[in-house]
Amino acid sequence: MCGIVGIYSHQSVAAELYDSLIHLQHRGQDAAGILTCDERFYVKQGLGLVREIFSSHDVKQLKGSIGIGHTRYPTAGGQEIADVQPLWIGSPFGIALAHNGNLVNYHELALELTQKKHQHLNSSIDSEVLLHLLADGLDQGGYVADDGALFFDKIARSIEYIYLRAQGSYSAVSVIVGKGLVAFRDPHGIRPLVMGERLNDDGSKDTIFASETTMFYALGFTPIGDVAPGEVVYVNRSGQLYRRVISKKTFTPCIFEYVYFARPDSTINGIGVYRSRLYMGQNLARRWREKYPDTLPDVVVPAPFTSNTAALSFAHELGVRYSEGLYKNPFIGRTFIMPDGEERTRSVRYKLTPQRSELNNKKVLILDDSIVRGTTSREIVKMVREMGAQQIYFVSTCPPIKNPCFYGIDMPSRKELIAANRSEKEIEAYLEVDKLLYQSLDDLQEAVKRKVEYPIDQMCMACMDGKYITGDIDQKKIQALEERRLGDRVS
């Protein structure tokens, strides 16, 4: 999972790309990069948080009114500067790309590029393969001087080439020197990609593409919907916008975006994340009342911050007090996307401070968005018990996560997923809680899709139900991908 942004503007774009990456920081804290363009590329990349990488001097050196940016959360590749996006290639034209998602057949494509086509790959990430596929497509059929409808036809054929070859999830933004800005999304629409526009005083329009709408209001953009599954969108140097759906399959966006990854003020796939989390809490409270009719907590405490919204509606539905009994230091990163389990456990106590006055001598219900590995949840329970809680209940707005994700979330192996290896009773004992409750699959889907008219066929819930919606992942493939990912971590 990463954050991407692309902006076409009538003024210098670097500062707005920087601001956009700050708004997308929650989607990746490993690395970040900005690339801008006039008649050449200007690039600044680095490891760490956005504010640590870019100085005001750096931003001023990034010239041009078209650009793309990326915040990285690695699910593949190492932690090398060569793996930081955006990536670029000099031919044809000069093409740069930033990508969110995962190519399931990355290694097969990489071998084909390096061994059959003798192309050099400078990184260990699937985004570079995607960039080469785009370049190969644009290299077919000769040079097109036009940057309007004729060149858009060429782009569309190139993206169709990608859709035929690349398996998995990918939302991408790309800059082509002398042509403009391109955005495209895989035919299943697994990863989000939203659009916005801004009307200038002279009547001209600026365009933005991003993983979420988080920066739209601050930058003055109005949301105009999503890049559709299997769609390519192109903005040329004059600001003219071209759109074409090339290959639409079953629309199955990732449900974990709404559970955890997206910021609550975002709207993606026509669904407000905040409202969906309110409904998650409401559904979970009703389920609690059915399963434990004689048990009522004194206080509902969220595992901050992702769970705050759901905990608020959960408490309201049960008629009990909501309390932020765990204070979170906002300057510590999100533990779920930390690459090392020991680091995740240690950082829980760094970032969370339990408030004794809210927990002592109380029956405390802790609500978290999900239980993935179980290490963070267990540490939170320990902290609450140390503050004198009489009883501790634990509920999750997400159903048990039993399967690895191969579409862009760091759930690499069943060995690391607690629900893949233990029953709910065993998980309850491991967490050392008095009662445990998971959201059901049906209730989660209902919460996300309630009062939504957007044409979603179904949600991707592969990490929960084992149904890999691209249809190209069987048990043999799962085992190979798990081994490869764990091997990448060791190396």
Q: How far is 485 from 472, CA to CA, in rounded Å?
A: 18
Q: Is 176 left (phi over 0), alpha (psi -120 to 50) or beta?
A: beta
On the 0-12 / 13-18 / 19+ scale of CB atoms within 10 A, 33 is buried
Task: Indicate the Cα dihedral angle 334, 335, 336, 340, nearest 10°.
Answer: 130
Give the tokens for residue 106.
Answer: 């990355």
CA–CA dist 367, 126 (Å, integer): 35
Q: Backbone phi, then psi, for 174, in 5-degree steps?
A: -145, 145
Cα-based angle 319, 398, 327 (whole degrees, multiple of 5): 60
- Write the DSSP string, 330-374: TTSPPGGG-S-HHHHHHHHHHHEEE-HHHHTTSEEEEEES--SSS
d(CA 344, CA 350): 10
Work out the end-to-end distance of the chain between its first and last CA atoms, rounded to an integer number of angstroms: 21
- Report how far residue 255's alpha carbon sits from residue 295's, in angstroms, rounded to the nearest whole number: 30
What does the alpha-carbon distance between residue 306 and residue 325 come to, in Å, rounded to a whole number? 15
Q: Provide the token pair at 312.
A: 């608020």
Asked whether 247 and 163 are in contact (CB, 8 A), the reply is yes
Structure token digits, residue 185: 């999304």
Is 463 one of the annotated active-site residues of the chain?
no
Nearest-10 Cα torsion for 21, 24, 26, 31: -40
Q: 407: which DSSP letter?
A: S
Residues 162/132, Cβ–Cβ less than 8 Å: no
- Under a CB-based contact definition with an 8 Å cutoff, are residues 42 and 59 in contact? no
d(CA 66, CA 206) in angstroms, rounded, equals 10
* DSSP string computed for 218-276: HHT-EEEEEPPTTEEEEEETT--EEEEE--------BTHIIIIIS-TT-EETTEEHHHH
Place of tokens 């608020």: 312
Catalytic residues: 2
